[in-house]
Amino acid sequence: MKLAVTGKGGVGKTSFTALFARLLKDKGKNVLLIDADPDMNLATVIGVPPEIQKKPISELKELIAERTGVIPGTPAPLFKMNPKVDDIPDKYCTNYNDLKLIIMGTIKKGGGGCACPENAFLKNLLSYLIVATDEWVLLDMEAGIEHLGRGTAIGVDHMIVLVEPNLTSIETAFRINKLSKDIGIKNLHVVGNKIRIPEEKIFIRDNLKSMNVLGFIDQSEVIKKISLNMISLMDIDPENLAPIENIYEKLNSIKH
Ligand SMILES: Nc1ncnc2c1ncn2[C@@H]1O[C@H](COP(=O)(O)OP(=O)(O)OP(=O)(O)O)[C@@H](O)[C@H]1O
Ligand SMILES: [Mg+2]
């Protein structure tokens, strides 16, 4: 299954992705994690030691130059739109605790959109990873999902928009809902995060009536501590994964 996680900044995308990965690992599944947020921090939350962390793909200038025929950062009126990427996952993937992680990295946007070789390369890689990978793929994304493109969107089985009980993250969810339809995402769901009181669940449901609310995750000291590296994702008690398990079951019950 291919699952993309999105939502407004700070709602808990990376934490959710990491917890979901831990759940899948406990179930013995093979998991490929893709950090597709330019503000990459999935490796930190997973607890990957910096010395074994592979470079973000966008920083592999020589590789991108070789595959697209253009040195990144130089004007490139002509470059290969479909550069070869199928050997990348094995070579540039970080392996840690039975989890595989690919960090896409940041692209500096040039004028007139992003028709640069780096972007063509990353887009093609993302599409390849989603469409051709025969395992669980979890994608930690920014809220701007436009760059996914139709070809990649077709491969995404479910997209989860995380929201907090506030209007700004709900507004972002509406925007993502519209974008997701434009690019052809099939199943979009909402998960409410950082819930403190039951009324906050009602607030989220009431404000997102047109969207499918999959479940809720309470405000949790344990989740906070993982992001502060005060406890390891791998060491937390499985009972902390109960809300994630609930979401996992619901996703599995949806027929494709
Ligand atoms: N359920 C939760 N309970 C308590 N704290 C949480 C919860 N979910 C996330 N957080 C905290 O909220 C902060 C932001 O979380 P996280 O980095 O996962 O969000 P994000 O959406 O990935 O952010 P960004 O947009 O910066 O990538 C972190 O300090 C994290 O510990
Ligand atoms: Mg994040």
What domain range is 128 assigned to?
1-143
HEC sequence for 84-99: CCCCHHHHCCEEECCE
* Residue 155 belongs to some domain of the structure: no
Q: Which of 130, 174, 172 is nearest to 150 (CA)?
A: 130
Q: How many domains does the chain have?
A: 1
* Residue 92 belongs to some domain of the structure: yes
* Residue 69 belongs to some domain of the structure: yes
What is the predicted pLDDT for the residue at 111?
A: 47
Calculate how far, in angstroms, residue 19's C-alpha sits from the geometric centre of ligand 2.
13
What is the predicted pLDDT for the residue at 109?
A: 60
Q: 97-112, pLDDT tens digit by residue?
A: 999 999 999 876 654 4
With a 6 Å cutoff on the Cβ, whether 223 touches ligand 1 is yes
Whole-prediction pTM: 0.94
With a 6 Å cutoff on the Cβ, whether 13 touches ligand 1 is yes
Residue nearest to atom 6 of ligand 1 (CA): 224
Which atom in ligand 1 lies closest to the alpha carbon of residue 217? 1
What is the rounded CA–CA span in Å between residue 112 and residue 107?
14
What is the rounded CA–CA span in Å between residue 135 and residue 129?
10
Q: 8-34, pLDDT tens digit by residue?
A: 999 999 999 999 999 999 999 999 999
With a 6 Å cutoff on the Cβ, whether 193 touches ligand 1 is yes
Q: 109-124, pLDDT tens digit by residue?
A: 654 446 677 888 888 8
* Residue 169 belongs to some domain of the structure: no
- The CA-based dihedral angle spanning residues 90, 156, 163, 95, taken in that order and rounded to the nearest 10 degrees: -10
What is the predicted pLDDT for the residue at 132?
A: 86
Ligand 1 pocket mutation pick from 5, 11, 15 by most atoms within 8 angstroms of CB: 15
What is the predicted pLDDT for the residue at 83?
A: 85
Calculate how far, in angstroms, residue 66's C-alpha sits from the geometric centre of ligand 2.
30
Q: Which residues of the chain have pLDDT under 50?
A: 111-113
With a 6 Å cutoff on the Cβ, whether 94 touches ligand 1 is no
* Residue 61 belongs to some domain of the structure: yes
Burial of 149 (0-12, 13-18, 19+ CB in 10 A): middle
* Residue 74 belongs to some domain of the structure: yes
The rounded Cα 190 to chain-centroid distance in angstroms is 14
* Residue 222 belongs to some domain of the structure: no
What is the predicted pLDDT for the residue at 20?
A: 98
What is the predicted pLDDT for the residue at 71?
A: 73
Calculate how far, in angstroms, residue 233's C-alpha sits from the geometric centre of ligand 1.
14
With a 6 Å cutoff on the Cβ, whether 127 touches ligand 1 is no
With a 6 Å cutoff on the Cβ, whether 233 touches ligand 1 is no
What is the predicted pLDDT for the residue at 54?
A: 94
Give me the chain's average pLDDT, please: 91
* Residue 228 belongs to some domain of the structure: no
Q: 51-69, pLDDT tens digit by residue?
A: 999 999 999 989 988 898 8
CATH number at residue 57: 3.40.50.300
